[in-house]
Amino acid sequence: MKTFSVIVIVSGIFIASLFFFPETINPFALNAMERDILLYIRLPRVIVAILMGAALGASGAVLQGVLKNPLADPYILGISSGASLTAALGILTGIYIFGQFSIPLTAFAGACIASLMVGAFAWKSGRFLPDRLLLAGVGLSFLFYAVLMLLISISTHEGIRKAVLWLFGDLSIADWSMIPYGLIFITAGLFICLSRARALNALMLGDELAHSLGFSVHRERLLLFISIALMTSASVSLGGTVGFIGLLVPHIVRFLIGADNKILIPLSAVCGGAFLCLADLIGRSVMSPMEIPSGIVTAIIGSPYFLYLLRKKDVLGS
Amino acid sequence: MSSDRKHIILELDNVGFRYDRHKPFVRNLSLSVHDGEFIGLLGANGSGKSTILKLASGIVKPSEGRIRLWDKDLQWYKNKDRAKLLCYLPQLLDIGIPFKVKELVSMGLYPYDILPAITVNEAIDMVGLGEKADTNITNLSGGERRRAFIAMTLLQGAGLLLLDEPLANLDIKYQLEILRLLRELKEKKNISIIMALHDINIALQFEKVVLIKEGAILGFGKPEEVLTGDLLKEAFDVNIRIKKQESGEAYISYGIDI
């Protein structure tokens, strides 16, 4: 029954995003312009929203498990701030080596460098330590943001507004050409963390119990981190940073179905994807033709619901 | 049957361990555990009970000596193979993750790719939590939670359980409940159990006791041989005497200096 309702809601959002908002397009009577809007604007945008949301939902669920910390959000690891910094550097220096792909590619490069840095900090003599991961992530985030703000404050470049918009999640740049590589990295990340879901369950009981259940604790944690890094990097480079999803979607799913990661991770991906798709739909419809960045919409809808759940049920770690 | 004719399933041979380079924490420790034995590990706080259990389960590696599990050196086992033979439960099971009892218990199957000898429900029934299979472990009492974890180890099917203070912080009712459950499992499934303990009265009920001080063994054997006034004085630094009731049951009596 629960599965059925999820399928209905998700397909409803998908269909509404494609055909009904901001203006209705009848898929059975398309003219040439409507077909182009559908195929080259709405469809890639919906797919990017689903991919990004799925990546953030799943990586949030995994990270909260790895750190056993309910406040963990994939952005806390500094991956997104690394991406933002390099993307802004690209925009402000005006180096567009890769044409229209310049922003996503520089962002992806920044995300990868930041992931390697934070991962290297967490690794110490054969052990992958979650506390160090968290603290290194927070530290690097501060550093990257400081440099980013410095750049923005001293720059007079006309691209500055674009850079700032991108920081709040700009799905309007979505385009078919970005989808294949986003899809590859996000699928790879999802595949890794789904195949390690049992190990994550065991790790949540503590390192000693995970060892006793036959897992190589630090190796499993490193693999899970790699999956988070892949998904977060790809999602940031697809459409910037969209807050709330990585933090709160896994919580909401956990409230509904419990803590078992074998179900929690895939369902967080599905709900994250559907939720970002819905937020984007609202963002581009309510004040059309002006757009509200998705990150703002996700926070405005999601936070009250989360606070309502918080009053009703227990939270992870309480 | 004398214990000599049983298999040795765990053997610590001259094991040493140091957390800090200059100061050994466990020294020259040799201990053999036979098939089906129920052993209490007794010692003061910081005497090394937990470290010995962690060494025996492979969580920490010895700096000197060897540890054998069945016929092979512990370090040569693959993680999953070791998990089928040996299971460790830490002292603190205060895990704030809302797993349901049946989800937790079914994690005992993780080392396996095949179906287990008993089902998840059977394991839950064995520890008497049948009606709470769908309850979150965060909503269980300390004793119930301990039993849920023991059900997980049953499913894991290991023949050797290493339990770190499984009775700590439990009311006497739950302590006896856990002890009864462990005894029953030992009889039914011929499981060997080593558990760290604090309570000397409870240690008196064991078949065998190991008395530890500063990471070394003071005595190993039947409780009446090991738990003598002199050795207890040395281990706990207080005057303790073991007395017998008219019924023959032993109990401890503290000296006047406490």
Q: Number of folded domains in chain B?
A: 1
CATH number, domain of B32, equals: 3.40.50.300
Tell me whether residue B150 is in a domain.
no
Contacts of B98 in chain A (CB under 8 A): 254, 258-259, 314, 316
Residue B67 included in any domain: yes
Rounded CA-CA distance B90/B99 in Å is 18
Of B86, B95, B98, nearest to A205 by CB-CB distance is: B95
What distance lies between CA A177 and its chain's CA centroid?
19
> How high is the ipTM of this complex?
0.85
When pLDDT is cut at 50, 70 and 90, the band that residue B255 belongs to is: low
Is the pTM above the cut of 0.90?
A: no
> Nearest CA of chain B to the CA of A53: how many Å?
24
Among the partner residues B59, B81, B100, nearest to A208 by beta-carbon distance: B59
Q: How confident is the model at residue B3 (pLDDT cuts 50, 70, 90)?
A: very low
A165 is a domain residue: yes
Contact across the interface for A201 and B95, Cβ inside 8 Å: no
In a domain, B76, yes or no: yes
Mean pLDDT computed over every residue of chain B: 85
Q: What is the CA radius of gyration of chain B?
A: 19
Say what angle helices A130-154 and A43-67 make with each other, to 10 degrees. 130
Q: What is the CATH number of the domain that holds A101?
A: 1.10.3470.10
In a domain, A317, yes or no: no
Contacts of B59 in chain A (CB under 8 A): 207-208, 211-212
Q: Which of A208, A220, A263 to mutate to test the interface with B (most CBs of B within 10 A)?
A: A208
Buried b (16+ CB within 10 A) or exposed e, A118-134: bbebbbeeeebbbeebb
Full residue range of the structural domain in which residue A188 is found: 2-312
Asked if residue B98 has a cis previous peptide bond (ω within 30° of 0), the answer is no
Q: What is the span of the domain harbouring residue B63?
A: 3-83+160-254
Structure token pair of residue B178: 């856990």
Smallest CA–CA distance from A219 into chain B, residue: B79
- Region label for A185, one of left (φ > 0), alpha (ψ between -120 and 50) or beta (otherwise): alpha
> Does the beta carbon of A254 lie under 8 angstroms from any beta carbon of chain B?
yes
B114 is a domain residue: no
Is the residue at A36 inside a domain? yes
pLDDT digit string (tens) for B46-92? 888 899 999 999 999 998 899 999 888 998 999 989 998 999 999 88
Whether B185 shows a pLDDT value over 50: the answer reads yes
Q: Quick one: pLDDT at residue A315?
A: 52
Which strands make up the sheet holding B216-221, listed edge to edge? B86-89, B160-163, B192-197, B38-43, B208-213, B216-221
Long-range contacts of A92-99 (CB under 8 A, 24+ apart): A92/A151, A92/A155, A92/A157, A92/A159, A92/A160, A92/A163, A94/A157, A94/A159
The distance in angstroms from the start CA to the end CA of chain B is 42
Say yes or no for a CB contact (<8 Å) between B79 and A215. yes
Angstroms from B180 CA to nearest CA on chain A: 23
CA distance A26 to chain B (A): 46
Please count the helices (runs of H) and the strands (runs of E) in chain B.
9, 12
Whether A318 is covered by a domain: the verdict is no
* SS (HEC) of chain A: CHHHHHHHHHHHHHHHHHHHCCCCCCCCCCCHHHHHHHHHHHHHHHHHHHHHHHHHHHHHHHHHHHHCCCCCCHHHHCHHHHHHHHHHHHHHHCCCCCHHHHHHHHHHHHHHHHHHHHHHHHEECCEECHHHHHHHHHHHHHHHHHHHHHHHHHCCCCCHHHHHHHHCCCHHHCCHHHHHHHHHHHHHHHHHHHHCHHHHHHHHCCHHHHHHCCCCHHHHHHHHHHHHHHHHHHHHHHHCCCCCHHHHHHHHHHHHHCCCHHHHHHHHHHHHHHHHHHHHHHHHHCCCCCCCCHHHHHHHHHHHHHHHHHHHCCCCCC
Backbone angles phi, psi at A154, to 5 degrees: -95, -5
Residues B118, B154 contacting (CB under 8 angstroms): yes
Mean pLDDT of successive 10-residue stretches along chain A, which has 318 residues: 80 81 72 79 89 94 88 85 85 69 80 90 86 90 90 76 71 80 92 94 92 92 91 87 86 86 93 91 82 84 78 56
Taking the CA of residue B226 and the nearest CA in chain A, the distance in Å comes to 30
In eight-state DSSP terms, residue B7 is P
CA distances to A75, A263, A303, B258 from B228, rounded to whole Å, are 60, 55, 64, 18
Q: Looking at residues B185-198, what average pLDDT do you find?
A: 87
**Residue A143 is assigned to a structural domain of this protein:** yes
CA B157/CA B87 separation, integer angstroms:
9
Kindly report the length of chain B. 258
CA–chain centroid gap for B196, Å, is: 5
The per-residue pLDDT for range B154-163, each reduced to its tens digit, is: 888 888 999 9
- C-alpha–C-alpha distance, residues B52 and B24, integer Å: 13
Q: Which residue has the higher pLDDT, B194 or A24?
A: B194
- CA-to-CA distance for A197 and A204, rounded, in angstroms? 11
How many domains is chain A partitioned into structurally? Answer: 1
For B118-162, write each residue's pLDDT tens digit. 788 888 888 888 889 899 888 888 888 888 998 888 888 888 999
Can you give the pLDDT at residue B256?
57
Q: Would you place residue B27 in the very low, low, confident or very high pLDDT band (cuts 50, 70, 90)?
A: confident
